[in-house]
Structure 1
């Protein structure tokens, strides 16, 4: 089963009416083939004519919306969620906010933004939001994206695939750091902008003007400021607020197997990739190591509450483990070698999203997980970035390992002394640390036991038919979720769809609000009023939903949503020690930010599955993909919701939608 999806906060690029639409929910990117110079040395994936960060200096700044636009959009998003009395209450609160304290906060935010022209108004508050969160990163923040299997099945051997992925990862890192990685650009007219001629020209345009040169030919460079956190980076737990740590001097890889941790160098003293045959030898040594799983697996501590983990980390350091922790934190990335084989796509989802808690270090910027049967995935910590860099990395790694693998079936590992090169990390423990690990494992097991994942494939239509009907495929998928929830629970609820603002300097994400007055009316017509509307009336409602969703998407991509603006003003009020205005303390504000439907989409030739947990206990985590002739969903829930029934309701909703599009009345 192949379902292409995503998780929150990852970049997706689409074209709609000539505008760059950066939809991220979790992972969506319209991938492109990054050309490789076939004469590139072993050390690099390719050698871009245009320096990697050439456009960074001249990227436009993320706009702060007008306050009146934010309040209008906020009220429009609240309307389908509230009854008349509730809506009148928030209308009055919004009016008071706009003419009073909100006006002052907005002006202060604009003034701050003018002083800090090197960044965006949302970047600082967004980092703080993630790093100050005290919940476990597992299920609450870290998503996963699994790789497709190598088309050449012989290369899916765990050792072969692990070696090739490590080598390709180093090549990507070196290409990036040498400034040779092709810049991330969305091309509306590739025939003009994605050409050698244009690249040779634009490279000579000063970086302070280069964005404008790309814009003149309908090309939109994207922010790449998050890329430097990809490697040698870790989230360090601190009481009250974590820190991001990066040490680019680290030359070693962190490997986990059976809960044991190992390190060895994958870059030599000259900065070159260690010979692939030597890397293969070292990984073979680890895979054959008879050392049993530790009684107290340290990795499970990274699944703890962040304050609890911060305290235990201090105990670890006091016990004499500082140097070993530094080796973990400064490792280029983490490779998790699992001894399990995967039964099906649901088994893959559970293993790659959370696993057993023992063979993971969830705080690393990213980990590549490889099972016994060659299934591979990336699990990444979310505070440092929104996944745009991770997906680019994954696309490049898949392309490189499948087209230009450096080791092959039958390749002989180098005859080197792996026992000396590979170091297993032994930690000094005491009873307090051991008890902390036991409690962390108990909490982890309890949390993941509550999570259910199920998947659905709708095979009766997809992108092709929707486009023929002049409907947005994403809008129709989102409508199906609204109809499905209404069918299951009889109500319209707060829904989140993330949109990347990477078209701007230090852009993060904006929220699309798919639950609208249009989707509410349409859902009720399909679900609650069968037979009361003609086929033509239902088709007209579908068109209205699609048109309005497209408008919301374009606004969000251009930084013209309302969620981030309101969030930034709220953070500003708190930082000044002011009491929160009534707009923020009203139950309606809490309700719209209690996202029962958290949704995300992805299609990529590298990615098979993607997933994340619900963001609230009574919610669904919905990863989905709309393909040419089918639609797939990978959905998670906790016991408060029945994910199996929900997917049946979504399937029924899609059947009804495509029946109407075929010109047939609902049965």
Structure 2
């Protein structure tokens, strides 16, 4: 059954993941010795009260109900992947270079590529519980040796609480922690609403539909939803959202998830603190207890440490792995275990964020000392209540974090656990909070100093800028029967051509969460139609009528829609070719000429790296360029306007790019309105 033929091209906006936990109750409370009856009292609640206090909601359909019956990510035909690969190369190569690359690709398709493809298909048949890209994609991240900061970890910033008084750092931190813990409990008890893309929500959002589907065996539950034009999405990655850390190891890191700990890790001024936020029954402590512990930390006056260990997580991974092992050998194993097993990391910053540029610098990298970039995610909160998630990327992608952010923003702002008044009367109890201490050798101190030096150089070299374009948004583009995303991607291509006079390798992320253990697929926005259209606007604007330019725009939109649909349905080429490369490397055989072709290497040296995640809960998001001479472009397309957050290094002029981007959007708008270009 071809389940994907009904998917609209924009399904990739809606892809989330969560984790596989059984629906069970913690019986520990009923086995406590005398004197601990309070735990029984906390645990034995009415269904209504328990939901209000401990859970975000209780879904009729269990969280993981569809996981067993999700369709598998398809492996494209080799000839299709080669054809799409060559189409992506065409706008980037001169005629002679393209001819050579085409010949190399043809030989690969007929020779070693055919063998690798068959082996990949056979391997996929033997591993029917996952996708062919899952293991290679995890390994891609975990084997990467460059630092996480700047190279891998992105951020998503929450909007401020609409009630200004709730943006007090202590109040907002407490409320967000409580909401995050409610999310954790909702997930672990299998109560979290499954992620479903609904074509007919009037049918699939009804309780009748939900009850019917919940009664189906898990091996066929997906098909029951499909009959109502509802498409469940993969939720396998939330298992690593909490209590997870990426552990640096030589050559390849490890992901460690520890399910038992009940404590939170808090960083302030480069110091580490832990305190329990769940009781022995696994229930959330009273908000006032959590607030008092936070208040105690915030009122502490310890100066920043001379050698903040957070800087080590900004280092090259092998360097950090050696330093971490030395920390363990020095007797810091227990303290590191407290860091690794914490539910998540809360970073309390003393900064006061005034604008989006400062917000981006703060949430993307900060000053290094008050971050632990290895945690699955860190919740960062400034003095004036600006809040964001900075997350490690190997375990999952941004859309998984987006679901989490939307849930905790809604819960913390509509049903806050505490209010600004009355203020706590005490400074909190030091017995609830443990400050972690570390023994440092001279070589570890030297490693911290070296890491700080490199981090500072990188931090100072990163440029950040924003563009808010208000002449049109999603509504206007839709009225023109065009793809909003295609128009923005076309504007990026036009802007770069205008600034640098060439077309370069470009990347747009697209989720494949419609399939079991799907990750992402690459959309290649630099195409023959965008190159022709960009040249017409930049160099030949007076040679073409408005109608001719409008036709070119429509051609770009149609082609981009096709690429998005292909990627969403798992029919791109990047992941397929990458998986075959990994398979070849795992055999220890010489790398095929195809992968050594300079054109293949160039195609994967991304200059324009772009990604979009649209949500009313998110103020702004961002990530650093993936190459030293590239741009990192996080963007959102709203109903009436468009916004983008740009990052760059010293070899590029990001402010000039933003000017060119504004001009490109103006040109597109004028042509669509029927105005002549001047």
Task: Give the TM-score of the pair, scaled to structure 1.
Answer: 0.95
Tell me whether 231-240 or 578-587 shows the greater mean CA deviation: 578-587
Question: Structure 1: any 5+ residue segments left out of the alignment?
Answer: 1-15, 32-36
Quick check: 1:179 aligned with 2:190?
yes
Structure 2's unaligned 5+ residue stretches are: 17-46
**Residue equivalent to 1:7:** none
The whole-number CA distance in structure 1 between the counterparts of 2:417 and 2:144 is 41
1:353 pairs, out of 336, 356, 364, with 364
Alignment map for 1:108-257 (pairs within 5 Å): 108-257=119-268
Give 1:439's aligned residue.
450
Aligned-pair distance for 1:418? Answer: 1.6
Q: Secondary structure at the match of 1:632?
A: strand
2:522 to 484, 492, 511: 511
Matches within 5 A, 1:19-168: 19-21=7-9, 28-29=13-14, 40-168=51-179
Match of 2:311 among 300, 313, 325: 300
Q: Which residue matches 1:653?
A: 664
Counterpart for residue 376 of structure 2: 365
Aligned length: 644
Q: Does 1:541 align with 2:529?
A: no
Where 1:497 maps in the other structure, the secondary structure is strand
Match for residue 588 of structure 1?
A: 599
The answer on whether the counterparts of 1:280 and 1:414 sit within 8 Å (CA) in structure 2 is no
Q: Does 1:497 align with 2:508?
A: yes
Matches within 5 A, 1:232-631: 232-413=243-424, 418-631=429-642
Contact 1:185 1:219 in 2 (8 A): yes
Alpha-carbon distance, 1:387 to partner: 2.3
- Cα distance in 2 between the residues matched to 1:542 and 1:360: 44
Q: Secondary structure at the match of 1:598?
A: strand
Checking the alignment, whether the CA contact within 8 Å between 2:14 and 2:197 is kept in structure 1 is no
Deviations, residues 171-230 of structure 1 (Å, cap 9, x unaligned) = 000000000000011111111112111001100000000111111111111111100100
CA distance in 2, matches of 1:435, 1:38: 56
The 8 Å contact of residues 258 and 358 in structure 1, kept in 2 or not, is answered as yes
Which residue of the partner structure matches residue 39 of structure 2?
Answer: none
Q: CA deviation at 1:413?
A: 3.4
Structure 1 residues 43 and 630, CA gap change in structure 2 (3 angstroms): same
Q: Which consecutive segments of 4 or more residues in structure 1 shift more than 6 A?
A: none
Q: Are the counterparts in 2 of residues 339 and 371 from structure 1 also a CA contact under 8 Å?
A: yes
Shift of 1:90: 1.0
Q: Which residue of 1 aligns with 2:24?
A: none
- Between the aligned partners of 1:21 and 1:173, the Cα distance in structure 2 is 31
Residues 218/345 of structure 1: CA separation in 2 closer, same or farther (3 Å cut):
same
Report the Cα distance in structure 1 between the residues aligned to 2:120 and 2:619, rounded to whole angstroms. 41
Distance in 2 between the 1:17 and 1:403 partners?
38
Tell me how far 1:400 sits from its aligned partner.
0.3
> What is the alpha-carbon root mean square deviation over aligned residues?
1.4
Q: 1:571 to 1:38 in 2, by over 3 A?
A: same
**Deviation at residue 414 of structure 1 after TM alignment:** 7.7
Residues 268, 274 of structure 1: 8 Å contact kept: yes
Task: Give per-residue Cα distances to partners, 1:230-266, cap 9 Å, x unaligned.
Answer: 0000000000100000001010000000001100000
Bigger RCO of structures 1 and 2 (CA < 8 A, at least 6 apart): 1
Question: In structure 1, what is the Cα distance between the partners aligned to 2:358 and 2:11?
Answer: 28
Whole-Å separation in 1 of the counterparts to 2:274 and 2:422: 23
Equivalent pair of 1:144/1:379 in contact (CA under 8 Å) = yes
The one-character-per-residue Cα deviations of 1:10-50 (angstroms, maximum 9, x if unpaired) are: xxxxxx994144666xxx5489xxxxx97623010000000
Residue 169 of structure 1: SS of its match in structure 2? helix
Whether the 8 Å contact between 1:22 and 1:500 is mirrored in structure 2 is no
Partner of 2:32: none
Distance 1:484 1:302 in 2: 35
CA contact (8 A) 1:158 1:371 kept: yes
Q: Is the 8 A contact 1:23 1:498 kept in 2?
A: no
Question: 1:365-388 CA distances to partner (integer Å, 9 max, x unpaired)?
Answer: 000000000000000000111122
Q: 3-state DSSP class of the match of 1:81?
A: coil
Query: Would you say the 8 A contact 1:583–1:589 is kept in 2?
Result: yes
CA contact (8 A) 2:269 2:304 kept: yes
1:259–1:360 Cα contact (<8 Å) kept: yes
Give the deviation of 1:343 after TM superposition: 2.2
Shift of 1:460: 1.0
Distance 1:200 1:413 in 2: 44
Contact 1:281/1:414, CA 8 A, preserved across alignment? no
Measured against aligned partners, the alpha-carbon deviations of 1:147-183 in whole angstroms (never above 9, x if no partner) come to: 0000011110000000001100110000000000000
Using the TM superposition, give the Cα deviation of residue 417 of structure 1 relative to its aligned residue in structure 2, in angstroms: 5.7
- Normalised by the length of structure 2, the TM-score is 0.93
User: How far apart, in 2, do the equivalents of 1:547 and 1:411 lie?
Assistant: 58
CA contact (8 A) 1:22 1:502 kept: no
Mapped contact 1:30–1:604 kept (Cα < 8 A)? no
Distance 2:520 2:11 in 1: 9
Structure 1 Cα separation of the partners of residues 224 and 340 of structure 2 = 40
Query: Distance in 2 between the 1:592 and 1:575 partners?
Result: 23
Cα distance in 1, alignment partners of residues 440 and 636 from structure 2: 46
